[in-house]
Amino acid sequence: CGHICMASGVLKGLECIAPLVRSVEETLEPIPTAVQGTIPSWIRGNLLRNGPGKFEFGNTHYNHWFDGMALLHQFKIQEGEVTYRSRFLQSDSYRKNSEKDRIMVSEFGTLALPDPCQNFFQRFLSRFEMISNVSFVKYKGDYYVSTETNLMHKVDPETLASIEKVDWSKFVAVNGATAHPHCDPDGTVYNMGNSYGSKGALYNIVRVPPEKKDSTDSLQGATVLCSIMPANKSHPSYYHSFAMSENYVVFIEQPIKMDLLKIVTCKLRGKGLSEGIYWDPKQDTVFHLVDKKTGQASSVRYHTKAISTFHQINAFEEDGFLMLDMCCSEDGQAINNYLIQNLRKSGDALDQVYNEMTRVFPRRFVLPLGVTSDTQSNQNLNTRPDSLATCLKTGQDKVLCQHEDLHGDDLLDYGGLEFPQINYGQNNTRPYRYFYGCGFRHLVGDSLLKMDLKDKSLKVWQQQGFYPSEPVFVPSPDAVDEDQGVILSVVLTPSQDKGTFLLVLDAQTFEELGRANVPVNIPYGFHGTFNPTA
């Protein structure tokens, strides 16, 4: 793999990253790591990560990156030392596939051998939406990993063992939920999931109360706060997450559409589930606001041109406006680019895959909250000083929004930004100054970025041939400033065998404090969470 050169945004000579999408063995017992530099002794807890770790069984293999079997990782940090362990999630897919040593269960982009008897709506659509190897989520103080259908596995953060299976549909009428719930300061958790009836799909916002009645309590007390009807019930939008401010849940209905009929018949037609997903750039992206106290959806719909989003950065209310910050792309084809065969390419073929993809950039939409029949039409309602975003009432209950960029031109040199993170505990749903993310001068992140919204300036950690995962912010115990703490990221090196390390950066200066070298190969993963221990 050659040296990268960049002309007019086109990259050539990308390094082959095939080793980052190879199957690995699990590391069931904790192993020590070699620490270089210093890992602050105040960091006590587990960095938990999840991502695909097995891409074939016998001579059958998965086609899509999201299909690989979920491998759970734990980096235990205490007294400046780090141990590592990993374990495959004992999902039904993993067990069935292992038993027969071949792929028995259809995943997102892969077709198992046809079984027409099992061809009914609910099962298919729930399988389709639950991309299982994404994230650890927390309800009522317990950690869960989402898997196929409506199931989540409760996981012990100390051993990574699956403790029990929890079925969403036993508590509330939804087919599973996203891997990106939001949490209020009192511990109430909000999430979203679809439900399907004879007339098609509904988007549901689900509320899970913080109270835990006893140790067996999981999703008890979960309720549907609000159901939103899709613009087209047989072609609902695909969504990976949603946004939340202090008083509102914001659902983003984007023109990545799911053709339910195609999905339900994909086995009969011999196609993978992802064939049923398409991008329709002629449709607007629509923001739906739901009041968290009343469960009422606002009659005002906020429209913008077709954009796609996987991850929101933050949302907050100020001076009668709701600021919605998210990572956006002008195109919704990305989900189909992450075929394993693309990730394993090299040379010109790899460069071509990258250069044909649309970059993702952080943007802010400003949504006016007090729009009534008396609000003047066709004039910019955004009165916030120094804000370039616009919002115009264009009809009864319709506001047209144009974003402002949350970055300067220098972000173009780093390939845009994805996997955004903030100081969530202190600043989620509130005004904030900093966010962190990965720069993408490759199909996977190849730099760590810190954005200062005060002047849109960037701090960067980047080293040639090193591919860092999503940055996780951990505040220091005595923090006064929003960015006082560390950034944790797992860095992979496709050109070095067993070259993985846990990187610790000072979040304020973005300088490296230390790294813990892990003597195993780890595949590229998506999301992580820090579980502090006493």
Give 179's Cβ-side CA count (13 Å radius): 23
Q: What is the DSSP letter of 16?
A: P
Q: What are phi and psi of 37, to 5 degrees?
A: 70, -150
- pLDDT score for 6: 56
| pLDDT of residue 126 exceeding 90 | no
**Residue 527 assigned as binding residue:** yes
**Residue 407 assigned as binding residue:** no
For β-strands 301-304 and 398-402, DSSP reports them as parallel
| Per-residue CA distances from 415 to 3, 79, 167, 263, 422 (Å) | 16, 36, 39, 33, 20
**Local confidence band at 302 (pLDDT 50, 70, 90 cut-offs):** very high
| Per-residue CA distances from 397 to 34, 287, 295, 368, 372 (Å) | 59, 12, 18, 12, 8
| pLDDT of residue 185 exceeding 80 | yes
Per-residue model confidence as pLDDT tens digits over 467-480: 999 999 999 999 99
- The answer to whether the CB of 141 falls within 8 A of the CB of 189 is no
| pLDDT of residue 64 exceeding 80 | yes
Classify residue 501 as exposed, middle or buried by CB count within 10 Å of its CB (0-12, 13-18, 19+): buried
CB atoms closer than 10 angstroms to residue 486: 24
Per-residue model confidence as pLDDT tens digits over 372-400: 999 999 999 999 999 999 999 999 999 99
Specify the 3-state DSSP secondary structure of 100: helix
251: its two tokens = 């659902």
- pLDDT score for 283: 97
Percent of the chain with pLDDT over 90: 78
* Residue among 525, 531, 468, 465 nearest 501 (CA): 468
Secondary structure of 448-490 as H, E, C letters:
EEEEECCCCEEEEECCCCCEECCCEEEECCCCCCCCCEEEEEE
Per-residue model confidence as pLDDT tens digits over 156-175: 999 999 999 999 989 998 88
User: In terms of pLDDT, which residue wins out, 125 or 55?
Assistant: 55
The separation between CA 254 and the C-alpha centre of its own chain, rounded to angstroms, equals: 16
Q: Among the residues of 373-415, which ranges form H helices?
A: none
Specify the 3-state DSSP secondary structure of 408: coil
- The residues near 254 (Cβ < 8 Å, ≥ 6 apart) are 237, 238, 239, 285, 306, 307, 308, 309, 332
- pLDDT score for 276: 84
**Local confidence band at 133 (pLDDT 50, 70, 90 cut-offs):** low
For 392-399, the CB contacts below 8 A with 24+ separation are 394/303, 397/299, 397/300, 397/301, 397/371, 398/300, 398/301, 398/303, 399/300, 399/301, 399/302, 399/303, 399/367, 399/368, 399/371
- The residues near 259 (Cβ < 8 Å, ≥ 6 apart) are 234, 235, 276, 277, 278
Give 114's Cβ-side CA count (13 Å radius): 9
Cα(216)–Cα(78) distance, rounded to whole angstroms? 29
- pLDDT score for 108: 65
- pLDDT score for 129: 44
**Residue 311 assigned as binding residue:** yes
What does pLDDT average to over the chain?
Answer: 91
**Residue 61 assigned as binding residue:** no
| pLDDT of residue 113 exceeding 90 | no
Beta strand segments in 29-178, E: 31-32, 34-37, 45-54, 56-57, 60-61, 69-78, 81-88, 136-139, 142-146, 151-155, 162-167
Residue the block writes with tokens 């950065």: 313
| pLDDT of residue 114 exceeding 50 | no
The separation between CA 301 and the C-alpha centre of its own chain, rounded to angstroms, equals: 25
- pLDDT score for 151: 83
Q: What is the DSSP letter of 380?
A: B
